[in-house]
Structure 1
Amino acid sequence: MDQIVGRVAELQELERSWQKAQQGEPQLVVLWGRRRVGKTYLLTHFAEGRRAVYFTATRQDSEDRQLARFAGSVAEQLGEDVADLIGGSFSDWEAALRFVLRISVEQPLLVVLDEVPRLLTGRADFADLLSAVWEARSRDSRILLALTGSAVSVMEQMLGPDGGLHRRPTVERRLDPFSFADARAFQPALPAADYVQAYAACGGYPLHLQRWDPALTPAENLQHLAFEPGGMLLRDAMDILSEDLDWRGGYERVLAALGSGVRRRSRIASRAQQRIDYTLDRLRRAGYVRAARPLGAPATADPLYEIADPYLSYWFSVLREDADLVEGGQGQAVRHRVEGRWQSHVARVFEEAARDHAVRLARSGELPIGIAVGRWWRDEVAEVDVLGLLDDQTRLLGEAKWRDGGPTSRDQHVLAGKLAYLPPAHPELEQVFWTRAGKSSATAKLRHYTAEDML
């Protein structure tokens, strides 16, 4: 079995569940997350060498068609003896579920139902039905039944207090795109500054990162993946979002407004030309959008909103407006025209990576335990990329600059000037700078980290 990258904790959790299933403790596992995060790869990898059925539901199929395909998958993957027991197809999903529970009594069985939300088209009460069958029939089986879904909001509704699967699963795990540091595993040899750009374009999606060619420059990779007709980064955003969002809700318009740089609720609504309360809340709960407040601000403070996913932010802020031109063969011209937008996007991703690095420094003990890390701003007055508060005092004052070289005396002077707007300085206040490259250094009051240090 090939080594899996990045999902070690999830794979170990599946292994533990399989051991319990083998011992007669039936396991209902639910894994969900948007497309391209690696759910299918994880489960197909886990299924290798095991007695298993892997079934992927399809869009817009009737219940009869889904059942016929499921019966075919069971027969094909478990062999002729099981095929003879099926006798063609199943009359309904209750019969299908009862069948796989029955044939797992004597031999352990892994059953994966991939993209379960698609089954709701033909059977709206599928979650309630599965829950009832599981409660009544699973006791004597040695089964691991794994459910997956890319429609994040639908899966979380199924698992919520009013959902059919509430408190039924033995394991519930949401898979999100990889973080800046964790995604490094997919491009371990890429120079650090190039990796920052790869992550800014690809986000934490394994398939995107694996298509990034280390032998090419960032510009060459972008040309191939984003600025040629059919390029993966050009087309994938809509595929990811369409699995989870009904475009009649105006989600694309809200994301487009955010991509244009609009961040306040009232201005987002004005740009999108619609009411946005429900739309924005659903985007936030699904992890596509986040609400940001200055570190130390009360929870009641009005937030700014931004696209949380680096790849989707890249698509909406850099690619979306000119996607038709790229598909028409003008990608090279578009790439040169949007270079400024691309560099601004990379700088924002680099800032976020710097904050993440500061959090990791605190976890490792290189910064004091108890320090709270975030960003801070006061409209039209001052902004701090990385602020660290300790005991209501400013302990860390940081700035991320997407450039080569260390901090200049002017950089330090400008950053220190922002202390006038912040909580009082801690006696051990440090200034911290992150830059793309250069010679990292540290003194009693000043630290400098490069992209290489961050990784």
Structure 2
Amino acid sequence: MQFTGRATDLDHLTRQLHSVADGAAGTPGRAVVVTGRRRVGKSRLVQEFCDRSGTPYTVFQATRGRSPVAERAEFVEAARRLGSPGAELIHGLSAADWNQALRALAVATPDDRPSIAVLDEVPWLVEQDPEFEGALQTVWDRNLSHKPLLLILIGSDISVMEALGARDRPFFGRATKMTVDPLDVADVQTMTGLDAAAAIDARLITGGFPQILASWRHGMNRLDFLREATADPLSPLLIAGELSMLGEFPEGTRSRAVLRAIGSGERTFSTIAAQAGSKGELPAGTLNPLLKTLQDKRIVAADLPLSTTADTKNKRYRITDSYLRFWLAFLERGIPLVERGRGDLALTRIERSWTSWRGRAVEPLIRAALLRLLPDQNWPDTEEVGGWWNRNNNPEVDLIGTDRAPVAKAIHFIGSIKWLENHPFDRHDYDALARSVLAIPGTAADTPLVAVSRSGVTPDAPVQTWWGPDELVEAWRNS
């Protein structure tokens, strides 16, 4: 698969390698913790970086559930691939623990030129051996950091990888952190060859995951892509979600039940509890820690209304990954249909709810785009963009532009998102937005009104500013 995008990520890693080569840091060695959602392309990114670097490197891939003895033996063999004169000294070494295995890496690391060592799926090493973290800290401080080595630690369990660098953990303060996000909408447009509006649809469906996007043929429209994907039980669009869920949340776990509830459209604590419970409502004492874990893993986000008044009671939950959101809403229950040759029924279900699903799913992407576009000349002080709602979602306002969050000092604008084909933001939408102004704490009768519209704005809707698909995509391309 051709490598696309990731220019910023590659540049970040390249700068880290240059600091090793230049000796600019306090010690010759540098460590980078690379994390991100499963199947987002972390390993592929690092492999591409290593191949482009022109620097000796070795990659060790951990295996979940494998014997620690076998893991250490393979790690020592991987260390030998760095090819220094000391590499032969560790040939056949049987490392009794991770201290010894990591010291073997130090022996094999060249002293006279930069090199790269990659440890992939570090959370599985932590899971196998609780002494791994302590050994990593000890050998890094005493040996590895004194070598011209770029040590890259990769892991998909974001909570574990963040804990690796936490203040109360052995490796604290020794590594810089890098998060690999899905491909942005500008990269999606490049890969698919679609116009801006269609590229945003493609980003919502695929989540920006490279393996799924690779199956989207250049120029193919959304309906044809979905028709092709739902005709094949082994299509990446169908299987990536199940592989991701199985990797983190086996079937039957309560976390999966909570994800299904949120994925089906439930947003409040009470409605999630009602749907996720197998026999009645899931107790708060059970649901609270589950939601916290899902938030720690960056799979679920909890949004609060943005205004000049604090409001922690009206929290709304959502799946952060739009592909997983799409998979939970449509594909998980559609897989049996596809497997028996009735992908047409699965596609019909998607099309029946596509417009309403997209209308909600596109909101976080639009807010993220505006955060890249603002502040600008029209809104020089706007640094936060969120939404606002009350307990009954009446009104519910899509866009709130402010100076800060979670509690703003000043509201600069309120706005509405209209994301429909052939239906521009019109006077009716403008009037509905205007009626919402005084319900929001911190607004006044003259608070400016703005819009984001897929199909433009009619002349009789006098919004102060509006943004369309092209501007939203360019927000990523120009950053």
Determine the structure 2 residue equivalent to 1:225.
229
Residues 152 and 244, structure 1, Cα contact 8 Å, conserved in 2: no
1:309 aligns with 2:321: yes
Determine the structure 2 residue equivalent to 1:419.
437
Deviation at 1:203, TM superposition (A): 0.9
Residues 33 and 39, structure 1, Cα contact 8 Å, conserved in 2: yes
1:453 to 462, 471, 474: 471
Determine the structure 2 residue equivalent to 1:44.
47
Residues 424 and 454, structure 2, Cα contact 8 Å, conserved in 1: no
What is the number of residues matched between the two proteins?
Answer: 451
Distance in 2 between residues matched to 1:226 and 1:218, nearest whole Å: 12
Distance in 2 between residues matched to 1:206 and 1:82, nearest whole Å: 39
Unaligned 5+ segments in structure 2 are: 404-408, 474-479
1:267 aligns with 2:285: no
Larger strand percent = 1
Determine the structure 1 residue equivalent to 2:167.
161
Note the alpha carbon deviations across 1:144-190, whole angstroms, 9 max, x for none. 11111112122122222332322222x2222233444x544643731
Using the size of structure 1 for normalisation, the TM-score is 0.89
Deviation at 1:247, TM superposition (A): 6.0
Moved more, 41-50 or 411-420: 411-420
Please tell me the root mean square deviation across aligned C-alpha atoms, in Å.
Answer: 2.9
Name the amino acid aligned to 1:288. Answer: I
Residues 292 and 303, structure 1, Cα contact 8 Å, conserved in 2: yes
* 1:294/1:338 CA distance change after superposition, 3 Å: same
Using the size of structure 2 for normalisation, the TM-score is 0.85
* 1:376/1:403 CA distance change after superposition, 3 Å: farther
Name the amino acid aligned to 1:91. Answer: A
Distance in 1 between residues matched to 2:377 and 2:183, nearest whole Å: 23
Name the amino acid aligned to 2:472. Answer: M
Distance in 2 between residues matched to 1:441 and 1:90, nearest whole Å: 76
Determine the structure 2 residue equivalent to 1:10.
9
Name the amino acid aligned to 1:403. Answer: E
Residues 165 and 171, structure 2, Cα contact 8 Å, conserved in 1: yes
Determine the structure 1 residue equivalent to 2:58.
53
* 1:90/1:321 CA distance change after superposition, 3 Å: same
* 1:393/1:95 CA distance change after superposition, 3 Å: closer
* 1:349/1:78 CA distance change after superposition, 3 Å: same
* 1:300/1:385 CA distance change after superposition, 3 Å: closer
Determine the structure 1 residue equivalent to 2:454.
436
Deviation at 1:141, TM superposition (A): 1.5
Name the amino acid aligned to 1:271. Answer: Q
Unaligned 5+ segments in structure 1 are: none
* 1:412/1:370 CA distance change after superposition, 3 Å: closer
Residues 223 and 332, structure 1, Cα contact 8 Å, conserved in 2: yes
* 1:164/1:227 CA distance change after superposition, 3 Å: farther
1:205 aligns with 2:205: no
Name the amino acid aligned to 1:58. Answer: T
Deviation at 1:36, TM superposition (A): 2.2
* Correspondence 1:186-201 to 2 at 5 A: 186-187=190-191, 189-201=193-205
Distance in 1 between residues matched to 2:152 and 2:221, nearest whole Å: 40
* 1:416/1:309 CA distance change after superposition, 3 Å: same
Determine the structure 1 residue equivalent to 2:69.
64
2:306 to 279, 283, 295: 295
Distance in 2 between residues matched to 1:350 and 1:29, nearest whole Å: 32
* 1:113/1:191 CA distance change after superposition, 3 Å: same
Distance in 2 between residues matched to 1:148 and 1:424, nearest whole Å: 44
SS in structure 2 of the partner of residue 132 of structure 1? helix
Name the amino acid aligned to 1:268. Answer: I
